[in-house]
Structures are given as C-alpha cells and as structure tokens.
C-alpha cells in the first residue's frame, strides 16, 4: 500500500491515521500483557554499528543485541564514565570484545563533528548500521550552546547532522541501515511547519527566559514535535536516497519502541523539574504499564538487521511492534516534508548540514497538492481526550533519554547558520596565559583557560593603524570557510571616534576635535579603509559594533563638558559611518549602552537613534542598520535578574516599542563575556572598571529570542578596562573603586589577574 496521501482520498487517509493512532494507544496500554516478542538470529560478523545514547535504556539494549549478533558496536555516549561502564557490561554479557566507546554530545554540533573527524582516522570507517537513539526531555526553557532549543537539537538536529555527514563522507555501504527512535507521542504533535518545528512558539510563551520552568503540556509538545520531525525526515530521506544511484539501496526507518519504563520522569533536567498532577499521573502510568528496555529494543534491532524491512516496498516507514503504521495525512504530505527539509537543511536557520545538503538535494518537483490539512475534527478531539493521558505516558517514555544539555531563526539574522570567527591574536594572548599558569603549577586553571582560547571574541579597531588588521581577519576567515565549508561571520568593533569615552578618561583615544584634520578627517579615512578592505571579501559576513559608549554618552552625559562639546560631531560621524559601511555582507549594530545606563531614558534613546539613522540616509538613501549592541564591556545579566537596571532582556523588551515608533530596527546582540557572576554585589553603577567580582558568562551563540540575534563576547575577557596608575593621563578614579581590581594596567593591556578571576567566577563554569 502506498505510504503517502496521493493514492488515497483525504477521508481514507484520515481513517487510516485514526486506526493507527488507536492501535498504538491500545498497544501501549496492553504492552505488558502481550507475549514477549523476539527477533530471529542474524549473523552480523564483520558489520559495524553505531548506537547513540547507548549507555542506558533502549540504547544500551540495542547495542547489546547487536553485539550479541557479532557486530562491532560503537557506543556513542555523552558521559564517559557511564559509557565505559556500559561497554564493560556489554562485553561481559555477550563475550564480544569488539565494543568501542566514543564521546558524542548531541547537544553540541561541535561534539558531533569532532566524532566524525575522529571516525575519519579509523582504519575501518564503514558504518553498516546507525541507530539514532539519544535524546532529551527538558522541563525548562533550555538552549544548547549552538543556540537551538535543547530537545529539538538533541533529539532531531544532531541526528540529522550525524546521518547526513556519514552519508556525505561515504561511510555507508550500498545496503546500509539507518534507524531512528521516534515515539508514539508523535500522534499528539501539532501539525509541523517551518515556524513551529524548532519550538519557537512555545518558548515565546515564556519570554525565552533561560531556565524558566515550562508546563507539562508544553514540555511534552516540544518532545513529540521532535519525534514527528524524525518520522517526516525519515520518509523524505528515504525518498531522496531512492533517487540516487549510489544510495538507492540504503534503508531508512523510524519506530516507536513501545511504552518503555524509563527514569525520564524523574530526571532533574526534564520532567523531574516539572510538578503537578499531570506529571504525577504520567509517572504512575509509565511505572504501571511500561515494558523493560530489553523489549523496547526489539523493533529497532529488527529494523536494523532483519531482511523484511529492507525490502523496497517497505522502506522509509514508521513502525510499532514490527508493524508499519500510518501517520497523519499532513505528515505524509510530500510538499510539507519538502518544506520542512528545506527549513532544516537549506536555510541559514539550521547550520547543521552545510556541505552535506549539496549531495542530498535530490528534490523532485513536488506532487500536486492534495486537500489542505484540516483542523482536528470533533471526533478526533473526542478520541484524543479518551486516550491522551495514557498515550502520552507511554509515548514519551518510549526512548530512554540521556540528560543532555532555535528559534527557527529569522533568515535576516546575520549570525544564523554561521560560525563565529575568533581572531588568532586573542587566542595567542590566552595561550600565553595558559603557559604562565602551567609554569606556576596551576594545571586545573590552565586547562580551563585553554577552553577560553577557543571562544570567538570581537576584534577591535581602536586606532588608525589597527584598521589595517581587517584584511588579515577576513583572509583568515575566508581560508577557514573554504577549508571547512562552514560559513564564517567576522565580528568587528570600530572604536575610534574623536573624543571617544568623553565621560571618563580610561579609554581616551588618539583623535581629537581641535581641528578637522586632527579628528574628523582621519576618522572618515578609517571608515573608507574598513569599507575597501571588506569589499574585497564579499563572501564573508561581517558584523560591526559601531562606537561603544557613544549613544550612552550622547543621551546621558550632556553635563560633562567634553561630551556636550563633541555631541554634534559624534552624531554626524555615526551617520557617516552608517552610510559608508552600507555593504551587502555587513550588519551594523550601534551602541545600545546597557540597562543601568539608559534604562530610564528609553524615549530619548530611541529618538536619538532614529535621528542618526535618518541623517545617514542623507548620504546614502537606502542606509540601514541591523540594530543595537548592548552591555558591551559590562556585567548585566540576560533574562535572569529582578532589577530592571541589571537585566538586559528587560531593557531590550522595554526599548523595542520606542525603536519601532521611530523606525529603528529592534534587533540586538548582547555582550555576556563578563556577565557570568550575577551573585556579585553591585554598587552605584561605578563598577565598570576591572570589576573584580566578574566572571565569564554565556558562550557566544545564536539565540531563540525574537529580539536578540545573538549572545556575543564583544569585550575580550582579560584585557584591562583602565589603569590604577594615578600619574597616567588616562587614569580614572572609577578604576580604584572598592569593586575594582587594584592594581590594573592601561586600558587594552593584558591583565592576568583579572583573566584568572573571570575563569574562577565563570558561570557556566569551564
């Protein structure tokens, strides 16, 4: 029978779907009373299998069964200790010594790619069987460091990346098998589209606040969407492979392993963090009606080894108890599958398969659209209400989840789909510090510092000579992009306004407004130089933060004579900078100061920004900017502080309507490089200079918030904010405040003591 919605009328397809839904529900409730299923023995000698999440539950039992059949089994696990224990048990139980452990964290694309790179070094690289089992269920608003909703990346995107890269690198033989663990819970998923597949609509109900507890219903909805995503991707992938001469005999399946007993309801990262009668009922049902993990592994092992599922007429289906089942008509619709395929693979909103998709883009002309998906009928709602509680419990626990720690990102977000470029200069400074720490016997701190060296920070253009460094950054990024196939975004700060830092002395610059030749003209030349260098690299994206502190001083420092006297020139030069840097690969972010500085001056701030942008259009009629950079070099939290003046998310949300009113784009990047220690005491706002309680903060990433493009590290942690030498012309009394580290070197110079404090007080820790 054809597995689509074309050869059947919509009513027939709907009835088939309802029948499968009801059958799944009954199977789940009665599973513990059925005779225990078994699989026929299959000789897997000489075969290699990879099982993700193989240290416990279904993953462990699947790996054990494959090892018992003689396969060389690779356990892809996040936790090394638990993985080693699982490997030892499997070897003891099966007598098969060919069991390896690989560390793979599905919450990190970097971890998956590192595993693939290690695999490339193996003597035998063929993968005969891949079982995508690892997953998570999060009870809070959680993001991976790649910027995606945790459940979405861990359950779906990571396995898409792993599977497609193994295909792309040629590791699957012509008769390879790919099995993904889905869940009967997919029947409870909302109809998927490009806007909700990543869970953005759910996260928006909680203002995208990291760590905020979500309702059991939303937790389950995020989970079941990922399981339906796996099923729809399975069908689409099989269809595309069948069109390829090279891969036409590879078999792809997904399955509901059954209502497996699982600790998932008590994991602190998932349902264990969620309270209420709903979860209590689900825990009870799971414990009462669930089946052992050994039985849950029956169907995935059968799909991975038996001859029947490999027959051409049965490939690319969703299975339950070794029987293929119907999905909702809209889930089987080829056009919808193609749209979701494109949203995951073809757009910058999901930077998971950048090079792979070139060989997998076997897109046929979509078939004629069938009847439009309709809302659930009354009968369907009644049916759902009769079985929903029992079914949810059975479906969600089907995969023994391993605790793992995107918005379907706006396509115009310049950071989406790109690797944040980190310059070699900062890396060298940190690596030098690593050497000092090792020499001092501080090996643990040195190991943490080595991790900081890999974090991408902004490169600062702070005088008329450093502007010449731009070409080097772009050449380096272009070489990386060419070598890896991963798009880079180079992050720059232009910080050299004449009379910059007018409200303090610590970071005073080289240009002055005494004459045009001393200030305005060299600044304009700096802008032209930056433009000409960037123009030579049209394929490299560039994000530029324009003049930190400039807007803060223009709005709030008129009482300072130096600021008042330079205000007109600063406004004009900011407009000039916007107009000059109108390049298709450049995204401009003006200074947004921070919540404590301009949080009570929202209307004046927006009015000024609107005026500067309008003036830029005098010089360039289509001049625009991407938005604002906030908290640059400062210490405020992001969505985790009660005080309005200490929370950038509250500030951003409050500022947004004022910006819209004046026609200024409300998109933000937020510096969290030194904002990790939010338990630190805060004084009167003068703790900006070498704040000794600071710690490294959230790592750079694309975010899920509709207003925030990315969390970034603009200020390179470890560079001084200002000197404590009272004889220096740049000495500022703020640098000797009780909250400042004393002694400290000149602004911009390396500060070993502060760097070490930032590591020790980091949150998240290294």
What's the CATH number where 516 sits? 3.20.20.40
Give backbone dihedrals phi and psi of 460, rounded to 5 degrees, phi first. Answer: -100, 130
Residue 261: per-residue pLDDT: 66
Residue 659: per-residue pLDDT: 97
**3-state SS, residue 666:** coil
Residue 83: per-residue pLDDT: 94
Residue 361 lies in a domain: no
**3-state SS, residue 355:** coil
Residue in this structure with the two tokens 């003049």, named with its chain if needed: 547
Please indicate whether residue 267 or residue 90 has the higher confidence score (pLDDT): 90
Tell me the pLDDT tens digit for each residue of 339-376.
Answer: 888 777 643 233 333 333 333 333 222 222 232 333 33
Residue 518: per-residue pLDDT: 77
Residue 364, exposed/middle/buried by CB under 10 A (0-12, 13-18, 19+)?
exposed
Lowest mean pLDDT among 30-39, 44-53, 449-458: 30-39
Residue 403: per-residue pLDDT: 29
Residue 655 lies in a domain: yes
**Axis-axis angle for helices 216-242, 158-168 (nearest 10):** 20
Pick the catalytic residue from 320, 501, 553, 647.
Answer: 501
Residue 349: per-residue pLDDT: 31
Residue 264 has pLDDT above 60, yes or no: no
Q: Which percentage of the chain shows pLDDT scores above 90?
A: 59
Look up residue 510 and give its two tokens: 């080289």
CB 157 within 8 A of CB 352: yes
Residue 184 pLDDT level (bands cut at 50, 70, 90): confident
Is the domain of 230 the same as that of 345?
yes
Domain with 248 in it: 10-37+45-349+381-396
Lowest mean pLDDT among 4-18, 459-473, 675-689: 4-18
Residue 746 lies in a domain: yes
CA distance linking residue 127 with residue 176, whole number of Å: 7
Reference 735, options 696, 692, 682; nearest CA is: 692
Mean pLDDT for the stretch of residues 537-545: 98
Pick the catalytic residue from 105, 146, 320, 549.
Answer: 549
Please indicate whether residue 529 or residue 410 has the higher confidence score (pLDDT): 529
Is the domain of 461 the same as that of 334?
no
**3-state SS, residue 669:** strand
Is the domain of 632 the same as that of 671?
yes
Q: Tell me how crowded residue 170 is: count the other CB atoms within 10 A of its CB.
A: 12
Residue 687 pLDDT level (bands cut at 50, 70, 90): confident
Is the domain of 423 the same as that of 392?
no
Please indicate whether residue 282 or residue 178 has the higher confidence score (pLDDT): 178
Is the domain of 276 the same as that of 424?
no
Furthest-apart CA atoms within the chain: distance in Å: 91
Total count of domains within the chain: 2
CATH label of the domain that carries residue 292: 3.40.50.720
Residue finishing a domain among 362, 396, 430: 396
Residue 362 lies in a domain: no
Mean pLDDT for the stretch of residues 198-205: 87
**3-state SS, residue 695:** strand
CB 496 within 8 A of CB 548: no
Residue 330: per-residue pLDDT: 84
Residue 48: per-residue pLDDT: 97
Residue 280: per-residue pLDDT: 59
Residue 41: per-residue pLDDT: 84
Is the domain of 142 the same as that of 179?
yes
| DSSP annotation of 384 | H
Tell me the pLDDT tens digit for each residue of 548-560.
Answer: 999 999 999 999 9
Cα–Cα distance list, 103 to 23, 77, 422 (Å): 38, 5, 25
Residue 384: per-residue pLDDT: 35
Residue 262: per-residue pLDDT: 59
Is the domain of 463 the same as that of 331?
no
Residue 766 lies in a domain: no
- Cβ burial 292-321 (10 Å sphere, 16+ → b, else e): ebbbbbbbbbbbbbeeebbeeeebbbbbbb
CB 533 within 8 A of CB 525: no
Residue 492 pLDDT level (bands cut at 50, 70, 90): very high
Lowest mean pLDDT among 321-325, 436-440, 458-462, 627-631: 321-325
This model's pTM is above 0.85 = no
Tell me the pLDDT tens digit for each residue of 110-144.
Answer: 899 999 999 988 888 899 999 999 988 888 888 88
Is the domain of 78 the same as that of 123?
yes
Mean pLDDT for the stretch of residues 652-670: 96
CA distance linking residue 353 with residue 112, whole number of Å: 12
Residue 650: per-residue pLDDT: 95
CA distance linking residue 726 with residue 713, whole number of Å: 30
Is the domain of 426 the same as that of 487?
yes
Is the domain of 704 the same as that of 582?
yes
Is the domain of 16 the same as that of 78?
yes
Residue 613 pLDDT level (bands cut at 50, 70, 90): very high
Mean pLDDT for the stretch of residues 719-744: 92
CB 198 within 8 A of CB 272: no
User: Mean pLDDT over all residues of the chain?
Assistant: 84
CB 394 within 8 A of CB 227: no
Residue 368 lies in a domain: no
- The span from the first CA to the last CA of the chain, in angstroms, equals 54
Is the domain of 691 the same as that of 647?
yes
Residue finishing a domain among 330, 364, 396: 396
Mean pLDDT for the stretch of residues 323-333: 87
Mean pLDDT for the stretch of residues 184-212: 86
Residue 363 lies in a domain: no
Q: Is 501 a catalytic residue?
A: yes
Residue 357 lies in a domain: no
């Amino acid at each position: 029978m054809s597995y689509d919605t074309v050869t059947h009328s919509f009513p027939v397809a709907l009835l088939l779907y309802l029948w499968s839904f009801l059958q799944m529900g009954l199977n789940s409730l009665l599973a513990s009373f059925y005779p225990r299923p078994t699989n026929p023995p299959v000789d897997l000698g000489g075969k290699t299998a990879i099982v993700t999440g193989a240290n416990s539950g279904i993953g462990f039992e699947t790996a054990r069964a494959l090892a018992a059949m003689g396969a060389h089994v690779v356990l892809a696990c996040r936790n090394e200790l638990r993985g080693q224990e699982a490997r030892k048990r499997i070897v003891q139980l099966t007598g098969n010594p060919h069991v390896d452990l690989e560390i793979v964290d599905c919450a990190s694309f970097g971890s998956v790619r590192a595993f693939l790179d290690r695999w490339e070094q193996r003597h035998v690289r063929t993968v005969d069987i891949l079982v995508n089992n690892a997953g998570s269920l999060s009870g809070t608003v959680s993001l991976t460091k790649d910027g995606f909703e945790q459940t979405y990346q861990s359950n779906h995107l990571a396995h898409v990346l792993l599977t497609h890269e193994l295909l792309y690198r040629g590791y699957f033989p012509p008769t390879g098998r790919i099995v993904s663990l889905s869940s009967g819970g997919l029947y409870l998923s909302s109809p998927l589209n490009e806007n909700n597949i990543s869970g953005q609509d759910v996260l928006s109900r909680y203002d995208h606040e990291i760590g905020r507890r979500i309702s059991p219903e939303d937790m389950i909805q995020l989970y079941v969407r990922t399981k339906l995503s796996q099923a729809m991707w399975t069908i689409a992938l099989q269809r595309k492979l069948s069109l390829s001469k090279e891969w036409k005999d590879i078999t792809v399946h997904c399955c509901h392993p059954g209502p497996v007993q699982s600790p998932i309801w008590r994991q602190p990262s998932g349902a264990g963090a969620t309270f209420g009668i709903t979860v209590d009922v689900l825990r009870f049902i799971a414990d009462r009606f669930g089946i052992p993990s050994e039985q849950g592994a029956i169907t995935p092992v059968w799909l991975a080894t038996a001859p029947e599922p490999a027959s051409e007429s049965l490939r690319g289906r969703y299975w339950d108890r070794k029987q293929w089942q119907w999905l909702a008509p809209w889930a089987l619709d080829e056009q919808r599958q193609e749209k979701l395929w494109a949203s995951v693979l073809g757009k910058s909103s999901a930077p998971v398969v950048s090079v792979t998709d070139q060989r997998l883009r076997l897109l046929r002309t979509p078939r004629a659209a069938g009847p439009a998906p309709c809302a659930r009928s009354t009968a369907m709602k009644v049916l759902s209400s009769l079985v929903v509680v029992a079914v949810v419990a059975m479906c969600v626990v089907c995969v023994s989840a391993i605790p793992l720690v995107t918005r379907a990102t706006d396509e115009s977000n310049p950071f989406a789909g790109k690797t944040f470029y980190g310059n070699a200069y900062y890396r060298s400074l940190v690596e030098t510090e690593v050497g000092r720490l090792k020499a001092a016997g501080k090996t643990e701190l040195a190991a943490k510092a080595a991790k900081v060296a890999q974090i991408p920070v902004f490169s600062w253009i702070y005088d008329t000579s450093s502007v010449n460094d731009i070409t080097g950054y772009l050449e380096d990024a272009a070489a990386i992009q060419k070598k890896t196939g991963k798009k880079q975004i180079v992050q720059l700060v232009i910080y050299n306004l004449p009379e910059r830092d007018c409200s303090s002395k610590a970071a005073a610059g080289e240009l002055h407004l005494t004459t045009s030749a001393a200030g305005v003209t060299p600044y304009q030349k700096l802008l032209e130089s930056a433009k000409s260098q960037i123009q030579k690299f049209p394929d490299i994206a560039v994000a530029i933060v324009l003049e930190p502190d400039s807007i803060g001083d223009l709005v709030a420092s008129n009482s300072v004579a130096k600021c008042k006297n330079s205000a007109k020139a600063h406004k004009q030069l900011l407009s000039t900078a916007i107009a000059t840097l109108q390049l298709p690969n450049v995204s401009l972010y003006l200074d947004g100061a921070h919540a404590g500085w301009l949080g009570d001056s929202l209307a004046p701030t927006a009015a000024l920004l609107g005026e500067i942008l309008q003036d830029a259009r005098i010089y360039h009629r289509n001049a625009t900017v991407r938005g604002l950079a906030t908290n640059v070099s400062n210490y405020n939290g992001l969505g985790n502080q009660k005080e309005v003046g200490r929370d950038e998310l509250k500030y951003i949300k409050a500022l947004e309507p004022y910006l819209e009113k004046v026609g200024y784009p409300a998109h933000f990047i937020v510096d969290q490089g030194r904002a990790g220690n939010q338990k630190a005491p805060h004084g009167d706002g003068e703790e900006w200079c070498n704040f000794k309680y600071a710690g490294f903060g959230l790592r750079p990433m694309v975010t899920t918030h509709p207003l925030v493009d990315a969390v970034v590290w603009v200020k390179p942690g470890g560079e001084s904010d200002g000197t404590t030498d009272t004889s220096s012309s740049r000495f500022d009394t703020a640098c000797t405040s009780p909250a400042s580290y004393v002694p400290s070197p000149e602004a911009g110079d390396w500060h070993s003591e502060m760097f070490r404090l930032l590591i020790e007080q980091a949150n998240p820790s290294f």
